[in-house]
Structure 1
């Protein structure tokens, strides 16, 4: 019977936290685990707190999953963002949104609707140009690093009116 090596027993979330110099607390595991499990979704602080509370409510009794207070969550999000595990975006309404930041990605393009304020990832829509975008992001980051800038990330936000809102506006304008 093969014996599992000690490296195969390491939780990937614990490994990420350790590699970035963070403590492996239950709260850190829950927050990072949730965001990594939902990579295409960005959350406000309040949305993330609600999602984690709802997730806790559905867990079986006896498992870890105590609720996180607001301040603890703010501090944890801040630490995860500082070490590059989360991407923090500020939308047109000045609302901060957080999303897991894959290590291999230097730009996460997204669309912000100025009407309904939904935030939608554009990775699927830009698949044909994704490599060009990645190369441009890497070049920009390398140029800034050469100038001495540190702790860099790149956010590509396209702002406008989404197709749903545009269609609704056309329908409203055509109705007598």
Structure 2
């Protein structure tokens, strides 16, 4: 579970206000990336996916290195959630309303990232409490800037050969 540094209602705050509140410069690139990711906050994006989507949807061509550095800075200050998958690829997602990260399923075959927030509603509260307890225990040991990311990895139903044609 990630937390952003300043406690602001990010859903109702402009990208300029968010950047200033987090100590970042208000550049056109930063505004574009923050606005685009906030508009697509229900999904996580790799660097390559984001670069392609910005070029296609926002007609913005951004240098690879500039985008990498910007994503790192935005993650560092708590505006984006950064998760590394089993293939060591980073996925970025906007943090809206200080919402905790939802558990997700990552398919080892097709590499789709499927959020499990709706499927695990009953256990989400228990998972959140376990994550909070783990963070609090580590904080008492002096650890800082902690986050918890629950990822379940396996083969999705679409990729599993045994599940094709079976009733679920």
- Give the shorter-chain TM-score range: 0.7 to 0.9
SS of the equivalent of 2:159 reads: helix
Contact 2:103 2:115 in 1 (8 A): yes
- For the Cα contact (< 8 Å) 1:115–1:161, is it kept in 2? yes
Question: Structure 1 length normalisation: TM-score?
Answer: 0.79
1:55-94 map, 5 Å: 55-57=57-59, 66-94=60-88
d(CA) in 1 for partners of 2:74, 2:164: 44
Which moved further from structure 2: 145-154 or 114-123?
Answer: 145-154
Residues 102-135 of structure 1: per-residue CA shift (max 9 Å, x gap): 3533333110011111111111111222222222
Q: 1:139 aligns with which of 118, 133, 155?
A: 133
Partner of 1:164: 158
Number of the residue aligned with 2:55: 53
In structure 2, the residue corresponding to 1:31 is in which secondary structure?
A: helix
Query: What are structure 2's unaligned runs of at least 5 residues?
Result: 1-11
8 A Cα contact 1:112 1:160, kept in partner = yes
Higher relative contact order (CA 8 A, sep 6+): 2
Partner Cα distance (1:113, 1:135) in 2: 26
- Please list every run of at least 4 consecutive aligned residues from structure 1 whose deviation after the TM superposition is greater than 6 angstroms: 171-174
Q: 1:118 aligns with which of 95, 112, 125?
A: 112
Provide the rounded CA distance (Å) in 2 between the counterparts of 1:136 and 1:14. 35
What's the counterpart of residue 102 of structure 2?
108
The answer on whether the counterparts of 2:158 and 2:164 sit within 8 Å (CA) in structure 1 is no
Aligned residues: 155
Aligned to 2:33: 31
Deviation (angstroms), 1:28: 0.9
Structure 1 runs not aligned, ≥5 long: 1-9, 58-65
RMSD, aligned CA: 2.2
